[in-house]
Structure 1
Amino acid sequence: MFAVAFAFVLPAHAAKIPAALDPDHDGTIDLAEAKAAAGALFDKLDKDHEGTLDIKELQGRLSRADFAGADPDKDKTLTKDELLVVVEQRFNAANTDADATLDAKELNSPAGKALKKLLK
């Protein structure tokens, strides 16, 4: 008798992408996945359920300058929509090959790291 073993191996790049950002486990993150992660994070951080986050609630995920730039109405809070604009900007900055997805290499670029920091 011969024993046959099958091993399922993910591509090397897939293991480097946080599972929370890649729910379909395809080894890439698309904008919808990034925005879904951001939306879930927003809901988690919005402990007072006001529908906004201030700089303190964001817990260092944005610098003061980036926060100010993301706050068009200058009310010192971000709505979920305002946060999603930042996510999209960071996603697009990291998507250097313009293929609408981020792979591990793009996520480890400076722009990708900024996106990961925001979504951690």
Structure 2
Amino acid sequence: MKIRSFVFAATVALAMPAYAAKIPAALDPDKDGTVDLAEAKAAAGALFDKLDKDHEGTLDIKELQGRLSRADFAGADPDKDKTLTKDEFLAVVEQRFNAANPDADGTLDAKELNGPEGKALKKLLK
């Protein structure tokens, strides 16, 4: 029985495109091979909370540790207070998600996540 299960799992893995396994688990908790906006925002919200070590409810450029360029950070900071609230951070995630979703189907597959816009989203959420 164990051999049959192994053979089945190996067959399934070989049938999957090479890029299919490249979706970070944190972005695909339901393991359906795609990331929707709710999953991306959930991962982003958890990351925000983790990075907000001082619990002020904002992140500055230092707390984001290279996830955004200074220009992107400035563009994401509409009130120009040099911090991002969780809502401002989630807005950046949504913009990057939409940029990585050219077919506008509401989900990102591994191929989209490994394109330039998808890589920018993954960098933000690493």
- The answer for the alignment partner of 1:27 in structure 2 is 33
Which sections of structure 2, spanning at least 5 residues, go unmatched?
none
Alignment of 1:1-120 (within 5 A): 5-6=4-5, 7-8=8-9, 9-10=12-13, 11-12=16-17, 13-120=19-126
> Following the alignment from structure 2 to structure 1, what is the Cα–Cα distance between the partners of residues 110 and 21?
8
* TM-score when normalising by structure 2: 0.89
Give 1:14 shift: 3.4
> Following the alignment from structure 1 to structure 2, what is the Cα–Cα distance between the partners of residues 73 and 28?
34
Q: SS of the residue aligned with 1:75?
A: coil
Q: SS of the residue aligned with 1:60?
A: coil
Give 1:4 shift: 7.1
Query: Which structure 1 residue ranges, 4+ long, deviate > 4 Å from structure 2?
Result: none
Structural RMSD (CA): 1.7
Which sections of structure 1, spanning at least 5 residues, go unmatched?
none
> Following the alignment from structure 1 to structure 2, what is the Cα–Cα distance between the partners of residues 33 and 56?
25
Matched letter for residue 85 of structure 1: A
More helix by share: 2
Identity %: 85
Q: SS of the residue aligned with 2:64?
A: coil
> Following the alignment from structure 1 to structure 2, what is the Cα–Cα distance between the partners of residues 68 and 38?
19
Q: SS of the residue aligned with 1:14?
A: helix
> Following the alignment from structure 1 to structure 2, what is the Cα–Cα distance between the partners of residues 4 and 43?
43
Q: Check the 8 A contact 1:14/1:25 in 2, yes or no.
A: no
Q: SS of the residue aligned with 1:102?
A: strand
Distance 1:4 1:50, change over 3 A: closer
